Structure 1
């Protein structure tokens, strides 16, 4: 179920770590556009709210006419193979762009993991806009580099790490999002199900549960509820052997 959002103050950020040293005052994890740039970009977009968990935003194989920027919430991108198996290829967080297309159709399905709000850009209008706004085009370029780095890292994780370490890295990644992790208490609220996590890290839901047990037995996490986990972040990083 989706509803049109009311007009509101625009605040557009793009989640991307710049590959070069950040400029003075720039956030290390986000590209913040000027108020004028945000307003210009927002004029192209339709703001849509998806209130129901599981709401489909882009169906795999459908004609791709839009690119999306996530403002609030979490979105899951998945690809269904010909024999019906599903692979979760990414989770999108506020500031992420999604709507990857090939030959004019969406490569993956995108569904709301939580209630979420998105900016929906008509792709042809956005292309023309970026050609005349090189600074904003540069921000999109930095985002593309960020996402390529993230994909390469995920390939290494999937190919070289066992399931407990894959899960540890996933939990550490989730802890980088302020709305779901409280640094004071070290408690992570996990927005997705263990089935989603399993389809992302390439295992079964049962193996995710066993990996949680392993991490807890090593004193790296403490489960407080079904989706609430206290993390020992330094110990998790040492266990996973990641930066």
Structure 2
């Protein structure tokens, strides 16, 4: 765990000592909006969606979280959003109280979490850009390119992208109807930018897709 960060062996061992490995099957909740916030999470493998329930009862998906990403933001002592596993997902679960105590002993560990916060901010900026493209075709094409950055879900040799989310999730995230997702996928296929192998597996021509931006 955390082998990609520049921590000392002692710092890494201390962080591992307060972390618990847990598993959530696909479509299972990790925590619910309004629930008391007790843990921060890091994805070992799999993918997670974060969604916020609006006052009218609709759920708004505002982020997809990938391997090595952290999540578990707390506001006023509770989680402001729900976290749901998209696929079979394995996580590190870290108690906030233990983490705060650990940072007092190993202050450099806080830098790790600040780095993750910056990564989360950059992801939010990318989402905002995607969701505001005037052409919905570009929104979807840009989203597929973003997904192809995830090595666990994209095979660079075959150019096959395995989507972790369904069409409803994509539509909610990008701000259009489910029917629009299906129509835009067909249009991308007609343009020979993608080839659908199944509902979840797509061959991407990344170079041609990048040319439309």
Q: How do residues 2-81 of structure 1 correspond to structure 2 at under 5 angstroms?
A: 11-12=1-2, 31=5, 33-50=7-24, 52-81=25-54
Asked if residue 192 in structure 1 is aligned to residue 168 in structure 2, the reply is no
In the comparison of the two structures, how many residue pairs are matched? Answer: 213
Answer yes or no: is the 8 Å Cα contact 2:133–2:139 preserved in 1.
no
Under a length normalisation based on structure 1, what TM-score does the superposition of the two structures give?
0.83
Alignment match, 1:106: 79
**Cα distance change of structure 1 residues 32 and 237 upon mapping to structure 2, 3 Å threshold:** farther
**Structure 1 residue 217, shift from structure 2 partner:** 1.4
Answer yes or no: is the 8 Å Cα contact 1:131–1:137 preserved in 2.
no
Distance 1:220 1:33 in 2: 42
**Structure 1 residue 204, shift from structure 2 partner:** 1.4
Q: CA RMSD in A?
A: 1.5
Alignment match, 2:57: 84
After TM superposition, the runs of 4+ consecutive aligned structure 1 residues lying more than 4 A away are: 32-35
Structure 2 unaligned blocks of 5 or more: none
**Cα distance change of structure 1 residues 122 and 236 upon mapping to structure 2, 3 Å threshold:** same
Alignment match, 2:100: 127
**Structure 1 residue 32, shift from structure 2 partner:** 5.7
**Structure 1 residue 35, shift from structure 2 partner:** 4.3
**Structure 1 residue 12, shift from structure 2 partner:** 2.7
Answer yes or no: is the 8 Å Cα contact 2:160–2:202 preserved in 1.
yes
